[in-house]
């Protein structure tokens, strides 16, 4: 019983961290339950919705059009690059979800085979 509690608690921790970084808490919870050591490291090093200002290098929100520290205005090219990065991150999240579903299916069949022996 105790061995089942650890992955659930770690899944909740990973989901909480993901939620604070504006990421899908449910997806990260499943990821955290199944592969919590990897998921914990992954969420800790992932982007938190900020970018660095190209002029003063302060962390600012990715949606900001001007840096609140140095007042540098974001150019159209920087906005385009930011949008492309967001699309790539969404593709990555969809791929991660697909991999999680595959892992769950494989584990389900493995447990079913082990239970019948």
59's enclosing H/E stretch is: strand 59-61
pLDDT recorded at residue 10 = 92
Q: Which residue has the tokens 């059009």?
A: 65
pLDDT recorded at residue 15 = 93
pLDDT recorded at residue 49 = 72
- Interior CA angle at 58 toward 60 and 83, to 5°? 40
Beta 59-61 vs 50-52: how paired, if at all? antiparallel
One DSSP character per residue, 77-110 reads: HHHHHHHHHHHHHHHHHHHHHHHHHHHHHHHHHH
pLDDT recorded at residue 21 = 82
Query: What does each of the 117 residues of the chain score in pLDDT, given as a tens digit?
Result: 677 888 899 999 999 998 888 788 898 999 899 888 888 888 887 877 777 788 888 888 877 888 888 988 877 787 777 778 778 877 887 787 788 778 888 888 888 888 887
Q: What is the pTM of this model?
A: 0.53
Q: What are phi and psi of 58, to 5 degrees?
A: -80, 150
């Amino acid at each position: 019983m105790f061995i089942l509690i650890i992955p659930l608690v770690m899944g909740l921790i990973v989901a909480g961290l993901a939620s604070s970084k504006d990421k899908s808490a449910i997806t990260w919870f499943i990821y955290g339950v199944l592969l919590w050591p990897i998921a914990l490291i992954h969420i800790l090093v992932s982007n938190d919705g900020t970018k660095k200002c190209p002029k003063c290098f302060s962390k600012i929100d990715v949606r900001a059009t001007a840096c609140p520290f140095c007042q540098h205005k974001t150019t159209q090219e920087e906005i385009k690059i930011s949008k492309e990065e967001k699309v790539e991150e969404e593709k990555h999240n969809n791929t991660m979800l697909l991999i999680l579903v595959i892992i769950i299916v494989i584990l389900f069949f493995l447990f079913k085979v082990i239970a019948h022996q």
